[in-house]
Structure 1
Amino acid sequence: MSIYVGNLSYDVNQQDLSEVFAEYGTVKRVHVPTDRETGRVRGFAFVEMESEAEEDKAIETLDGAEWMDRQLKVNKARPREDNRNSGGRNNRF
Protein backbone atom coordinates (compact mmCIF):
# COMPACT_ATOMS: atom_id res chain seq x y z
CA MET A 1 0.00 0.00 0.00
CA SER A 2 1.09 3.57 -0.45
CA ILE A 3 0.05 7.09 0.44
CA TYR A 4 -1.23 9.67 -2.03
CA VAL A 5 -0.05 13.21 -1.29
CA GLY A 6 -1.88 15.92 -3.22
CA ASN A 7 -1.86 19.70 -3.56
CA LEU A 8 1.93 19.81 -3.43
CA SER A 9 4.02 22.81 -4.31
CA TYR A 10 5.62 22.57 -7.75
CA ASP A 11 8.94 23.15 -5.99
CA VAL A 12 8.76 19.89 -3.98
CA ASN A 13 11.26 17.08 -4.50
CA GLN A 14 11.72 13.51 -3.25
CA GLN A 15 14.11 14.55 -0.49
CA ASP A 16 11.64 17.10 0.90
CA LEU A 17 8.89 14.49 1.13
CA SER A 18 11.20 11.84 2.58
CA GLU A 19 12.18 14.19 5.40
CA VAL A 20 8.58 15.08 6.25
CA PHE A 21 7.32 11.49 6.23
CA ALA A 22 10.39 10.16 8.10
CA GLU A 23 8.97 11.83 11.20
CA TYR A 24 6.27 9.11 11.19
CA GLY A 25 8.40 6.05 10.40
CA THR A 26 10.65 4.47 7.83
CA VAL A 27 10.13 5.74 4.28
CA LYS A 28 10.67 2.98 1.74
CA ARG A 29 10.02 4.92 -1.46
CA VAL A 30 8.90 8.34 -2.70
CA HIS A 31 7.66 8.91 -6.24
CA VAL A 32 7.07 12.46 -7.49
CA PRO A 33 5.59 12.29 -11.01
CA THR A 34 6.67 14.88 -13.53
CA ASP A 35 5.09 16.06 -16.75
CA ARG A 36 6.57 14.23 -19.74
CA GLU A 37 6.86 17.33 -21.88
CA THR A 38 7.96 19.99 -19.40
CA GLY A 39 9.65 17.92 -16.68
CA ARG A 40 7.70 19.97 -14.12
CA VAL A 41 6.38 18.32 -10.96
CA ARG A 42 2.67 17.53 -11.37
CA GLY A 43 1.58 18.57 -7.86
CA PHE A 44 1.15 15.15 -6.28
CA ALA A 45 3.28 12.24 -5.11
CA PHE A 46 3.20 8.75 -3.66
CA VAL A 47 4.98 7.66 -0.49
CA GLU A 48 5.51 4.09 0.68
CA MET A 49 6.35 3.45 4.32
CA GLU A 50 7.58 0.41 6.23
CA SER A 51 4.25 -0.42 7.88
CA GLU A 52 0.57 0.33 7.58
CA ALA A 53 0.60 1.74 11.13
CA GLU A 54 3.25 4.29 10.08
CA GLU A 55 1.22 5.18 7.00
CA ASP A 56 -1.93 5.63 9.09
CA LYS A 57 -0.14 7.94 11.54
CA ALA A 58 1.31 10.05 8.71
CA ILE A 59 -2.10 10.32 7.02
CA GLU A 60 -3.84 11.24 10.26
CA THR A 61 -1.30 13.95 11.05
CA LEU A 62 -0.54 15.39 7.61
CA ASP A 63 -3.96 15.40 5.90
CA GLY A 64 -5.01 19.05 5.88
CA ALA A 65 -1.67 20.28 7.24
CA GLU A 66 -0.10 23.32 5.67
CA TRP A 67 3.31 22.74 4.10
CA MET A 68 5.19 24.91 1.60
CA ASP A 69 2.22 27.33 1.58
CA ARG A 70 -0.20 24.55 0.53
CA GLN A 71 -2.83 22.59 2.42
CA LEU A 72 -1.92 18.95 1.87
CA LYS A 73 -4.37 16.25 0.84
CA VAL A 74 -3.02 12.96 2.24
CA ASN A 75 -4.81 9.61 2.04
CA LYS A 76 -4.42 5.95 1.07
CA ALA A 77 -3.57 5.66 -2.60
CA ARG A 78 -6.13 3.89 -4.74
CA PRO A 79 -4.98 1.30 -7.26
CA ARG A 80 -4.33 2.76 -10.67
CA GLU A 81 -7.21 2.27 -13.08
CA ASP A 82 -6.50 0.83 -16.49
CA ASN A 83 -7.68 3.62 -18.78
CA ARG A 84 -5.98 2.61 -22.01
CA ASN A 85 -9.32 2.22 -23.81
CA SER A 86 -11.12 5.19 -22.30
CA GLY A 87 -10.43 7.64 -25.11
CA GLY A 88 -7.79 9.09 -27.31
CA ARG A 89 -6.43 8.22 -30.69
CA ASN A 90 -5.95 4.50 -30.08
CA ASN A 91 -9.67 3.77 -29.71
CA ARG A 92 -11.28 1.75 -32.45
CA PHE A 93 -15.03 1.82 -33.00
Structure 2
Amino acid sequence: MTPFQLRLALLFRRPARVEVLSLRSSGYRARVIHMDESSSEFVAGHARLWLSLEGLKSRLRRCGVRQVLLLQPQAYDEIISRPMIEEPDPGLWLPL
Protein backbone atom coordinates (compact mmCIF):
# COMPACT_ATOMS: atom_id res chain seq x y z
CA MET A 1 0.00 0.00 0.00
CA THR A 2 1.46 3.34 -1.05
CA PRO A 3 1.14 6.58 0.95
CA PHE A 4 -1.53 7.81 -1.49
CA GLN A 5 -3.55 4.59 -1.13
CA LEU A 6 -3.28 4.86 2.67
CA ARG A 7 -4.57 8.45 2.59
CA LEU A 8 -7.57 7.35 0.50
CA ALA A 9 -8.27 4.37 2.76
CA LEU A 10 -8.19 6.60 5.84
CA LEU A 11 -10.49 9.08 4.12
CA PHE A 12 -13.06 6.33 3.54
CA ARG A 13 -12.43 4.79 7.01
CA ARG A 14 -11.41 1.39 5.64
CA PRO A 15 -8.39 0.45 7.79
CA ALA A 16 -9.05 -0.96 11.26
CA ARG A 17 -5.53 -0.13 12.48
CA VAL A 18 -1.93 0.42 11.45
CA GLU A 19 0.65 -1.87 13.02
CA VAL A 20 4.37 -1.21 13.27
CA LEU A 21 6.48 -4.34 13.70
CA SER A 22 9.82 -4.09 15.43
CA LEU A 23 12.13 -6.52 13.64
CA ARG A 24 15.06 -7.93 15.54
CA SER A 25 18.19 -5.88 14.83
CA SER A 26 17.01 -4.79 11.38
CA GLY A 27 14.44 -2.00 11.75
CA TYR A 28 10.71 -1.44 11.55
CA ARG A 29 7.99 -2.41 9.11
CA ALA A 30 4.41 -1.11 8.88
CA ARG A 31 1.30 -2.93 7.82
CA VAL A 32 -2.28 -1.80 7.46
CA ILE A 33 -4.98 -4.09 8.87
CA HIS A 34 -8.31 -3.65 7.08
CA MET A 35 -11.79 -4.07 8.55
CA ASP A 36 -12.06 -7.59 7.07
CA GLU A 37 -8.77 -8.52 8.87
CA SER A 38 -6.78 -8.70 5.63
CA SER A 39 -3.49 -6.80 5.65
CA SER A 40 -1.33 -4.76 3.30
CA GLU A 41 2.30 -3.81 3.72
CA PHE A 42 2.98 -0.06 3.77
CA VAL A 43 5.53 0.86 1.12
CA ALA A 44 6.84 4.40 0.51
CA GLY A 45 8.86 4.50 -2.70
CA HIS A 46 11.31 1.62 -2.39
CA ALA A 47 11.27 1.69 1.42
CA ARG A 48 9.71 -1.39 2.97
CA LEU A 49 11.97 -1.33 6.00
CA TRP A 50 12.78 1.72 8.11
CA LEU A 51 15.89 1.90 10.25
CA SER A 52 14.38 4.43 12.66
CA LEU A 53 10.97 4.39 14.26
CA GLU A 54 10.85 8.19 14.16
CA GLY A 55 11.21 8.26 10.37
CA LEU A 56 8.41 5.73 9.90
CA LYS A 57 6.14 7.55 12.35
CA SER A 58 6.76 10.82 10.51
CA ARG A 59 5.88 9.24 7.16
CA LEU A 60 2.67 7.69 8.57
CA ARG A 61 1.71 10.99 10.23
CA ARG A 62 1.97 12.74 6.84
CA CYS A 63 -0.47 10.17 5.45
CA GLY A 64 -3.04 11.01 8.14
CA VAL A 65 -2.46 8.18 10.62
CA ARG A 66 -3.06 9.35 14.20
CA GLN A 67 -1.95 6.29 16.17
CA VAL A 68 -0.17 2.99 15.55
CA LEU A 69 0.07 -0.31 17.38
CA LEU A 70 3.74 -1.12 18.06
CA LEU A 71 4.36 -4.88 18.10
CA GLN A 72 7.49 -6.76 19.02
CA PRO A 73 7.13 -10.32 17.67
CA GLN A 74 10.27 -11.57 19.40
CA ALA A 75 10.86 -10.73 23.01
CA TYR A 76 14.33 -10.10 24.40
CA ASP A 77 13.97 -13.28 26.47
CA GLU A 78 13.66 -15.37 23.31
CA ILE A 79 16.81 -13.81 21.87
CA ILE A 80 18.89 -14.78 24.92
CA SER A 81 17.31 -18.27 25.05
CA ARG A 82 15.02 -17.88 28.04
CA PRO A 83 11.67 -19.67 27.91
CA MET A 84 9.03 -17.95 25.79
CA ILE A 85 6.25 -15.93 27.36
CA GLU A 86 2.99 -17.84 27.22
CA GLU A 87 0.84 -14.82 26.40
CA PRO A 88 1.56 -12.92 23.17
CA ASP A 89 2.57 -9.28 23.41
CA PRO A 90 -0.62 -7.18 23.13
CA GLY A 91 1.37 -4.28 21.69
CA LEU A 92 1.62 -0.65 22.65
CA TRP A 93 -0.59 2.09 21.18
CA LEU A 94 1.55 5.08 20.19
CA PRO A 95 -0.03 8.42 19.30
CA LEU A 96 1.56 10.16 16.34
User: TM-score, structure 2 length as denominator?
Assistant: 0.29
Which is greater in Rg? 1
